[in-house]
Structure 1
Amino acid sequence: SIWWVVLSFTWFLAAGLKWGNEAIASYAQYFHLAAWLVPTVQTVAVLLSGAVDGDPISGICYVGNMNMENLRKFVLAPLLIYLVVGTTFLVAGFVSLFRIRNVIRKQGGAGAGSKADKLEKLMIRIGIFSVLYTVPASIVIGCHLYENAFHEGWLRSAACSCPESRMVNIKARPIYSIL
């Protein structure tokens, strides 16, 4: 997801701020540093906080399988931030390209139509790629939000109720030495 932000940011620099290829390429090492450093910091934070837990049914370890606070903090928040920031850069770039296209069409002259057509083809390609990223990313975020909203209810419905139990206030925990 961080690569989506980097891609949309570089596209914004090219389309919105009219940076050239050389100017953007001169910052490539910084883009790569950010794209690798941010997930590294996130991974270290997850591991240091002990946020990785296992699903008791499937046995899959993931952040926020059982702890919804970890899911919100380490999965949902970064995904939402990356999607919003990347989409913001994308929309800003599209606004700039629409302005450029309108200027080209108003100027007219020889070759103005073909320049506008090439620009429109570029906009269509970028738009298709953007949809191919944002729709699945939004679906993944929606699935995590759905799980976050109903997880506690799912656990309560699967738990056995013991109405005759006198130890209501004591939380049952597994005895790890037996496991």
Structure 2
Amino acid sequence: MKWGNEAIAGYAQYFHLAAWLIPSAKSIAVLALSSVDGDPVAGVCYVGNQSLENLRGFVLAPLVVYLFTGSLFLLAGFISLFRIRSVIKQGGTKTDKLEKLMIRIGIFTVLYTVPATIVIACYIYEQHNREAWERAQSCSCPGDPQRPKPDYAVFMLKYFMCLVVGITSGVWIWSGKTLESWRRFTARCCRARKPVGASVCGEA
């Protein structure tokens, strides 16, 4: 497989189509089936908080598919990068930049895959035990010591990891070039404001 800019750019329209079409189809299906409900712990609206079918169909299954598909792409990318690295080394050229890129991809893989896997595990724990929790709550014997109860820490871990996945995704754009781009942008904005004041002072 070729992973150069030109090769990937040829499939850019398909990537954009998938990135927009799949979430749009899911959102339309969720709204059409009235699957949005309230989270009894966090108090926010989400999908699958009251219905196990919605949790499995709209949350758990897509997360597993996305994680599996993303892992396949990352694995294919790593294999391709290792092949390119070996070819470059055989040619006697330095591979410092390529190795830095591989390290960045590896860090991103760990920082994204681990939280995403933990979120999936928390959802599996929830969908596996929710019926027992609901039956225990409706039982008329509150003093039963064997009554199953949800682990509050698991829910807090789920919320935390959901946020961490988004934060760690920013690692990919955290680089010297990004900081330099923002520095140039802010400097350009400041320069655009200065001539107005300078011209006023000059006229005075």
TM-score for both structures, normalised by structure 2: 0.61
What is the SS of the residue equivalent to 1:161?
Answer: coil
What is the SS of the residue equivalent to 2:111?
Answer: helix
Identify, as 1 or 2, the structure richer in helix. Answer: 2
Two-structure CA RMSD over aligned residues (Å): 2.1
Equivalent residue in structure 2 for 1:161, among 140, 163, 174: 140
Matched length? 141
Is 1:133 matched with 2:77? Answer: no
Equivalent residue in structure 2 for 1:118, among 97, 100, 108: 97
CA deviation after TM superposition for structure 1 residue 58, in Å:
5.3
Q: Report Cα offsets for 1:61-84 as digits up to 9, x if no partner.
A: 321112111100000111110110
CA deviation after TM superposition for structure 1 residue 159, in Å:
1.9
Equivalent residue in structure 1 for 2:55, among 63, 67, 71: 71
- Structure 1 unaligned blocks of 5 or more: 1-16, 163-179
Is 1:31 matched with 2:31? Answer: no
What is the SS of the residue equivalent to 1:65?
Answer: coil
Q: Which residue of 2 aligns with 1:10?
A: none
Is 1:95 matched with 2:74? Answer: no
How far apart, in 1, do the equivalents of 2:91 and 2:13 lie? Answer: 40
- Tell me which amino acid in the other structure corresponds to 2:87: V
CA deviation after TM superposition for structure 1 residue 18, in Å:
2.5
TM-score for both structures, normalised by structure 1: 0.69
**Which structure 1 residue ranges, 4+ long, deviate > 6 Å from structure 2?**
none
From the superposition, tell whether residues 85 and 161 of structure 1 become closer, same or farther in structure 2 (CA, over 3 Å). Answer: same
Equivalent residue in structure 1 for 2:124, among 145, 151, 172: 145
